[in-house]
Structure 1
Amino acid sequence: MFIPKYYKVTDFGEIRNFVQENSFGTIVTTKQGKPIATHLPLGLNKIGDDYYITGHMAYGNPQWKTFETCEDVLVMFQGPHAYISSSWYEHENVPTWNYQAVHIYGAASILNEEELKQELTTMLLKYEKHRDNSVLWEKLSPQVLEKELKGIVGFKIKVKEIQAAYKLSQNRNDKDYLNIVEELRKEEDINSQQMAKVMEKRIRSEE
């Protein structure tokens, strides 16, 4: 991913939080030279001394069979994004687009049954623990679990390289920056409003 110096993010803690908060990612591999992709909820977890992207996909999805033949798997995570009009600047310029994106490269392998059960337990806990009638692993019947396990393939991707870009108008002066935030707030598009919140948070973190 091309990342100008203004927008490069290297703090692993910040990147890890971003992935956890924007965990619906895209896995890209190749099959006979053709890129293929799957969109999935994913986790970023430490196992031993290494970090892994973990998840599962349908057994009928042929992409998992490419894990053995691909030296590197690309996993992409994206946050809010928004159109930035150059009419919001003090001086004449061209429009642009703000966004947050993380690319992670690594080697993929298939989880054994016990690892898959742990992955599913962790994922259910993350998304269900705050709900009144939480659907947790230990609450599901053996029949349902057995059927589920037969229909999916678990995987882990050992993190080898991380590229992260937050394009949040960092190259603009303070007046332009604050005006961009105000204009984004006025937009009806939910992504624009979310981008305004991200940019506001960045200001507060630097104060």
Structure 2
Amino acid sequence: MYVPPHFDESRTEVLHELIRQHPFGTLVTHGADGLDANHIPFELAPDGPLGTLRAHVARANPVWRELAGGAEVLVIFRAGDAYVSPNWYPSKHEAHMQVPTWNYMVAHAHGRVTVRDDERFVRGLVARLTRTHEAAQPVPWKMGDSAPEFIDGLLEKIVGLEIEITRLVGKSKLSQNKELRDVRGAGEALQTQGECVVSAAMLACAHDKAAGV
């Protein structure tokens, strides 16, 4: 991924928070049939210097067999993206030297995968993912709500994946290369349109810019 210095986000704790808040990642692999991509919810664990990603795929999905040898993989996490009109930059109306762009925040986690085809690993992973994503529900669903034999049967149909992150690359393109008033103007315009994630990040960027951070 091309990352100009002004868009670079290299802080591990910031990228970890991005992954936790947006855990639905794209697993990119290269097998016998070439490049492949699978879209999977991940769990981020603090194991290792850069963390460890855990997920599961259907046993019928050939990707886990292709990864059995411990292949290198890439997982892409996207926090948000938004089109930015040049009309939202105050400076455009003076110098007419702005063009459209697209702002976004992403994290690329590179690592080596281990296939975990064991019931204990998969059961624990599914239980933790369920607790995490059901937490906001009025009455959270839990695995014990279903008959044990039903859950056992489903667990037999999935296989676990564990990825030790060896390189973490982040990019936050939030118009940091623009004037303070332009960052703020575009952020406020996105907010007015109902876009929440990128606008909030841009306005936070404008605040930091104003504070000289």
Q: Same fold (TM over 0.5)?
A: yes
**Contact 1:73-1:108 within 8 A present in 2 as well:** yes
* Equivalent pair of 2:80/2:197 in contact (CA under 8 Å): yes
1:87-129 deviation digits (Å, cap 9, x = unpaired): 3331312211100111111111122221211111110110112
Q: Give the counterpart letter for 1:128 in structure 2.
A: E
CA distance 1:169–1:83, shift in 2 (3 Å): same
Partners of 1:49 and 1:173 in 2: how far apart? 36
Aligned twin of 2:157? 151
Of 102, 109, 117, 1:104 maps to: 109
Runs of at least 5 residues in structure 2 that lack an aligned partner in the other structure: none
Partner in structure 2 of residue 197 of structure 1 = 200
**Offset, 1:76:** 0.3
Matched, 1:93 2:98: yes
Partner of 1:179: 185
Matched letter for residue 202 of structure 2 = M
Q: Tell me if structure 1 keeps the 8 A contact 2:73–2:112.
A: yes
Q: Sort the Cα spacing of 1:205 and 1:56 in 2 relative to 1 into closer, same or farther, 3 A.
A: farther
Aligned to 2:142: 136
Cα RMSD of the aligned pairs, angstroms, is 2.0
Provide the secondary structure at the position in 2 that maps to 1:47: coil
Q: Structure 1 pair 26/33, CA: closer, same or farther in 2 (3 Å)?
A: same
Inter-partner Cα distance in structure 1 for 2:201 and 2:49 = 31
Q: How does 1:34-113 map to 2 (within 5 A)?
A: 34-47=34-47, 51-69=51-69, 71-89=71-89, 90=91, 91=95, 92-111=97-116, 112-113=118-119
Tell me the secondary structure at the aligned position of residue 147 of structure 1.
helix
Change (3 A) 1:205 1:152: farther
C-alpha displacement of 1:65: 1.4
Question: Is the 2:7–2:176 Cα contact (8 Å) retained in structure 1?
Answer: yes
Between 1:151-160 and 1:66-75, the stretch displaced more is: 66-75
Query: Aligned equivalents of 2:187 and 2:47: distance in 1?
Result: 39
Out of 162, 166, 173, the residue aligned to residue 168 of structure 2 is 162
Instruction: Return the letter of the residue paired with 1:200.
Output: L
**Residues 198, 49 of structure 1: alpha-carbon distance in 2 compared, 3 angstrom cutoff:** closer
Q: CA 1:48/1:87 → structure 2, altered by over 3 Å: closer, same or farther?
A: closer
The answer as to whether partners of 2:119 and 2:156 remain within 8 angstroms in 1 is no
Give the letter for the 2:162 counterpart: K
1:176 aligned counterpart, secondary structure: helix
Asked if the contact 2:110–2:168 (Cα under 8 Å) also holds between the matched residues in 1, the reply is yes
TM-score (norm 2): 0.87
Task: Give the counterpart of 1:126 among 124, 129, 132.
Answer: 132
Q: Following TM superposition, by how much is the alpha carbon of 1:64 offset from its aligned partner in structure 2, in angstroms?
A: 1.2
Sequence identity percentage: 25
Aligned partners of 1:195, 1:133: CA distance in 2, in Å?
A: 31
- Residue ranges of structure 1 left out of the alignment (5+ in a row): none
Per-residue CA deviation, residues 140-187 of structure 1 (Å, 9 max, x unaligned), is 431122111111111111111111000001111111111111221233
